[in-house]
Amino acid sequence: MVHNVALVLGGGGAAGQAWQIGVIAGLAEPGPDLTEAADLVIGTSSGSTTAAYVRSGVPAAGLLASVLSEPAQPVGRPPERPPSLSMAEVFERMRAIGAAATSAADLRRAMGAFGLESDSVLGPEAARQRRAVVAARLPRAEWPDRPMIVVAVNAHTGELAAFDRDSGVDLVDAVTASTALPGGAPTHSINGTHYINGGVRSAENADLASGYANVVVLSPFGGRSGTLPEGQFEGLRREPEWGTDLASQVEALRERGSRVEVITPDAGSLAAMGTNQMDPATRIPAARAGFAQGKQEAPRVTFL
């Protein structure tokens, strides 16, 4: 294999994104700083925001400090999103789509159609506001020099969209597309094509790390689908025969010769992340718990 280290950052809401920063900082204490060691960073959904931070040029300790210095949020504060559709309605529709889907491609197309349908309810102003919110969250608006992939899904066709600095798409647009929850946020239009959250394809999209000798996967939702609120987005129907679940993707990577280490939240991190990972109030506790877990997990990535 030509390439060495790929870092895969899965979706997981506000809590999951902060947890990933904490884990990366914890790993860097006794071991490698993945902000430097990763030759490729792959981000999906909120993981795309983490990817932008990892590639910002700030060391892991500095990234953690930035999360911990954020103003404290009141518990239960709702995420920033248009109020037109309730999350209960969104989750109900997702469950119906998942139940009816006969294949991964079928599910992606149906989710894209749901997103496009919801645009008429959410309205064009919601799309403009959401892009501005995403831009404000990113540490920089330009693509990094080092390789990074941001994953979204074409809402019209259900096809994979893997954006990078050579795709001709602004980083802000790529992250806005990757984090566009169907029904909960407007689809994101780029050059006339609408996109939805990359988690519709896979919560991690670890298969995109094929060809890398070492793969580290940080999966906020991995291993905890049973404890998520019913209908939680990244827990939406992952069938092994479809190859969209993390276990199948990891197995395929290992069969091709990659060494893969998957880190999912431990008991302490799960408690800190709570049951609503979209709640901004979970960010600081999740980052702290991730940092503690990262230090414990460091021996697993000493091969880097």
Query: Both tokens of residue 272?
Result: 């800190």
pTM of the model: 0.93
Q: Percent of the chain, pLDDT > 70?
A: 91
Q: Which of 303, 196, 204 is CA-nearest to residue 252?
A: 204
pLDDT confidence tier of residue 134, bands split at 50, 70 and 90: very high
Query: Both tokens of residue 82?
Result: 């248009």
The pLDDT of residue 106: 95
Alpha-carbon span 62 to 286, nearest angstrom: 16
The pLDDT of residue 233: 59
pLDDT confidence tier of residue 76, bands split at 50, 70 and 90: low
* CA atoms within a 13 Å half-sphere pointing along the CA-CB vector of 162: 15
Triad 295, 300, 302: Cα angle to 5°: 90
Dihedral in degrees, nearest 10, Cα atoms 85, 133, 17, 229: -10
Q: How far is CA 137 from CA 5, 70, 120, 237, 242, in A?
A: 26, 12, 26, 29, 34
Mean pLDDT value across residues 131-141: 95
Q: Decide the pairing of beta strands 160-163 and 193-197.
A: unpaired
The pLDDT of residue 234: 54
- Asked whether the predicted pLDDT for residue 221 surpasses 90, the reply is no
Query: Both tokens of residue 35?
Result: 């902000």
pLDDT confidence tier of residue 227, bands split at 50, 70 and 90: very low
Instruction: List, for residues 167-204, the tens digit of each pLDDT value.
Output: 999 999 999 999 999 998 999 999 999 999 999 999 99
Mean pLDDT value across residues 71-84: 58
The pLDDT of residue 86: 78
